[in-house]
Structure 1
C-alpha cells in the first residue's frame, strides 16, 4: 500500500552496483531504511542520489510494510531545495556531525510528529542562517535531549550529571551563562564563546549523551567539527 510521508535524509550506504540503502527519519514511521535502485548508474541522469545528502528534507511516497526492515520508494522530491547547507564548509560539517548523532539516537519504532517538527525547524534555521549559527550543533543537541527524555533544565543540572559520572567539567561563569542561554533561548541567539570554550562544551555535551545512551560509542565526525568550528 502506498503511503505519503515527509522525511529527513540521514545517511546511505552503497548496495550492489547501482543502488543504495538510505536511512530516513520519517514523520509517519520514524526511522526507516529504503532501497533505492539505479541511482548510482552511469545511465541515471536524474542525480536523485543528491536527495540523500545529510539533512535533505524530503516529500515521499513509500511502500512501508510493518513486517519488513527494508522498504521501497515510489516517489521522491525535496521539500526545500538547499542553497547553502551542502555548499558551505561550516554548515556541511555541522550537518555530517548532526546526522551521525541522529543515526545513533533515533529508533526505528519511534514516530514522533513533535520531534519531526523540531528537526525540520532546526534544519531550516541552519540552511537559512547568515549569522550566529556557529553554536548550532551545541544548541541542537541540548534541545534534542529533551525529546529523548534526558534534557537538563539548567547548566547546574548539566554539570551535576557529568560530575556524578566522573566527567571533569568545571565551567566558569561565562560558560555557565552561555549554557543556560543555549538551553532556554532559540537558535541564533548571539553568544560570546571563545573557540576553546566551544570545544570544551562540545566534548561535555557529547559525554552527556554517552552517559545517557550507551550505544553512542565513538563519534567519528567530532574531530573534524572541532577543527572546522571550534
Structure 2
C-alpha cells in the first residue's frame, strides 16, 4: 500500500556513504524508520540538509507491514522554515526538542493530535519575532497532556509537596526521593497554565529556567521507562543565560 504523509524528522544515522537512516514521526504512520539514499550528484533532489532535526517533510513510501526500516519512494519539504535555520537560539531549541521527542515518543501507532501539536508548535516558533527562551518549557508542559502524563495540580498550597512519582500534590513529604519542595512546587500551576503567547512575560532567571527544565526532565524519566540522559539541555542553559 502506498502511503503519503507529513513527517517530522527526529534524528538521522549514517548507514553508509550514500544512505541515511531517518527516524521520523509521521502523521499517517506514527514513529517510523526510513532508509534514504543520498545521491552524490550536484543535481540530486534529495540532499542531507532535507533531514535536519525537526524538518517537516512530505514522505511517500510503500507500506509492507513487516520491515522496521522502510525505503522512501519520494520526499520533499512540506514546510520551509523562514527563521529557525538563521537563529542560533531557535536551532538549539529544535535540536533539544528532537532529542527529547526521540526519547519520549514510544508508541508505534499514529496519533494525529500529537503530530498536529508538534507541527503547529514548530510553526509558531518559526514565526515568533520576540523572546522564545521559555518556548521549550511550555512545549514540554503541554506535551505531557498529549502523552497522558499531565500532572494533577489540584490541592496545591504554599506548604504542599509535589510527588513526582504519583504526579500530584500532597501535604506531607512523600517517601520518595522524587519530590519537589513546597517553595518550588507552588509555582507548578502557573507553569502548567503558560502558553506560547504569554510565556515571554515570565522573566525566569537562568537558574530558575535550568531548575524547571531539570524537574520536567526528571518527571518524564520517572514515567517513561529507560528514558535516556539528554545531551542538548546544556546548550540551552548557555544560550539563555
Question: 3-state SS of the aligned residue for 1:83?
Answer: coil
The 1:69/1:197 distance shift into structure 2, 3 A limit, reads same
> What TM-score do you get using the length of structure 2 for normalisation?
0.85
The answer to whether the 8 Å contact 2:161/2:180 transfers is: no
Question: 3-state SS of the aligned residue for 1:114?
Answer: helix
Question: 3-state SS of the aligned residue for 1:132?
Answer: coil
> How many Å separate the matches in 2 of 1:128 and 1:158?
38
> How many Å separate the matches in 2 of 1:182 and 1:62?
40
Gaps spanning 5+ residues in structure 2: where?
166-172
CA RMSD of aligned residues (A): 2.3
The question of 1:100 aligning with 2:109 is answered no
Task: Return the index of the structure with the highest Cα Rg.
Answer: 2
The answer to whether the 8 Å contact 1:38/1:44 transfers is: no
Post-superposition offset of 1:139? 0.9
List aligned pairs for 1:1-230, cutoff 5 A: 1-39=1-39, 41=40, 43=42, 45-46=44-45, 48-107=47-106, 109-154=108-153, 156=156, 159-161=162-164, 164=174, 165-167=176-178, 169-170=180-181, 172=183, 176-177=186-187, 179-189=188-198, 190-230=201-241
Post-superposition offset of 1:65? 1.9
> What TM-score do you get using the length of structure 1 for normalisation?
0.89
Post-superposition offset of 1:193? 1.2
Q: Deviations along 1:182-205, whole A, 9 cap, x unmatched?
A: 322421312121111111111111
> Which has a greater percent of helix?
1
> How many Å separate the matches in 1 of 2:77 and 2:192?
31
The total of aligned residue pairs comes to 227
Post-superposition offset of 1:133? 1.6
Post-superposition offset of 1:181? 3.5
